[in-house]
Amino acid sequence: MTLGFAVVTALSIGTSDKPSPLPRWLDTSLATITFTVLFGVLPTWLRLLVRRWREQRRPTSQPPPANPVSPAQPRLQWKTPSAASQDHAANSAPPISTSVGSAPLNRRSDRGTPGAARHHPGSAAAPLRWRRLDADGFERLLFDLLRAFPEHHNVQWLSHTRAADRGRDLSMDRVLYDSTGSVRTERVIVQAKHWLAKTVDVPAVSGTVAAMKLWEPPVVRTLIIATSGRFSSDAIMWVEKHNNSGAAPFVELWPDSKLEALLAQRPQLVTAHGLR
């Protein structure tokens, strides 16, 4: 733009009719140079000075760090191959079973050896020593065990000569609570069979169920057959078929494994009856 104005000035002076003491070419040149300096070079030089002055007053910024680390970014921790294999083995270890009736294992022995199980008195980690009891002691153990449950009322140790095995049995009232707030009581007979040499078979179970009529009235709603041994597979199938038919009484089978699970929660009874 400055150059354009200089050209216009040169043309104006060169074509002017006004007389001048200087030659026309010199007058035109001086006028063009003067116009260019005043309106082109001088403003540009002033703007450059002002820009440099502003840059000198501007505060210098700190250079960014060479390797910035964000506070929120976690640092990576490299592990040796041995440490990584130990972590993998710990995370992939199978969970320990805590089902009812299984014994909790202490992973440290008395000497601190890993992997050795320590059996505490009264736990069901090992089978109970049922042979220390006779028939009378077994029924006494059931009597104490039944009284340990808060829903069992009026637990009695009876003797009935007309029973199928002519042995003593126990009776109680079991209180059943409903989630709606209703409460009902049912009569329960417990038949004790301290059989270690043989299993409880179908004739023993069916004969006990048939003998329940001798205990009425009142009506027997549930029959519990508890044994220190085992039930035969045929006896278990017979009880399942009987309960599915809806016939009274409802039969519950308590083998030695169930008794050991119940007594594991009450080690004082195990100790009191000498089963350890």
SS3 64: coil
Q: What is the pLDDT of residue 118?
A: 40
Q: What integer pLDDT is reported at residue 35 of this predicted model?
A: 66
Topology of domain 130-272, per CATH?
Trna Endonuclease; Chain: A, domain 1 (3.40.1350)
pLDDT at 8: 63
Residue 231, beta-bridge partner list:
200
pLDDT for position 3: 64
Q: How far apart are CA 98 and CA 112, in angstroms?
A: 23
Spatial distance between the Cα atoms of 222 and 252, rounded to a whole number of angstroms: 7
Q: Cβ(220)–Cβ(187) under 8 Å?
A: yes
- Calpha distance 31→61 (Å, rounded): 48
pLDDT of residue 109: 39
Query: Is 210 in contact with 238 (CB distance < 8 Å)?
Result: no
What is the C-alpha radius of gyration for the chain, rounded to an integer number of angstroms? 52
CA–CA separation, 34 vs 23, rounded Å?
A: 16
In which residue are the tokens 């009935």 written?
Answer: 160
The three-state secondary structure class of 54 is helix
Q: Say if CB 171 and CB 159 are below 8 A apart.
A: no
Taking the C-alpha atoms of residue 40 and residue 28, their distance in angstroms, rounded to an integer, is 17
- In the three-class reduction of DSSP (H, G, I as helix; E, B as strand; rest coil), residue 167 is classed as coil
Q: What is the pLDDT of residue 105?
A: 39
Q: In what order do the strands lie in the sheet with 183-193?
A: 152-159, 168-177, 183-193, 222-227, 250-254
Domain boundaries, the chain: 2-55, 130-272
| Cα–Cα distance measured from residue 110 to residue 112, given in angstroms and rounded to the nearest whole number | 6
Q: Quote the longest CA-to-CA distance of the chain.
A: 163
pLDDT at 47: 78
Q: Tally the C-alpha atoms within 13 A of residue 163's C-alpha that lie toward its C-beta.
A: 19
pLDDT in tens, the chain (276 residues): 666 666 666 666 656 666 667 676 676 777 777 767 676 677 787 878 888 888 887 766 555 555 555 555 555 555 555 555 555 555 554 544 444 344 443 433 343 433 333 444 444 446 899 999 999 999 999 999 999 999 999 999 886 544 455 445 899 999 999 889 999 999 999 999 999 999 999 999 999 999 888 888 889 999 999 999 999 999 999 999 999 999 999 999 999 999 999 999 999 999 999 998
State how far the alpha carbon of 203 is from the alpha carbons of 200, 206, 208, 234, in Å: 8, 5, 8, 10
Helical pair 2-14 and 24-36, crossing angle rounded to 10 deg? 160
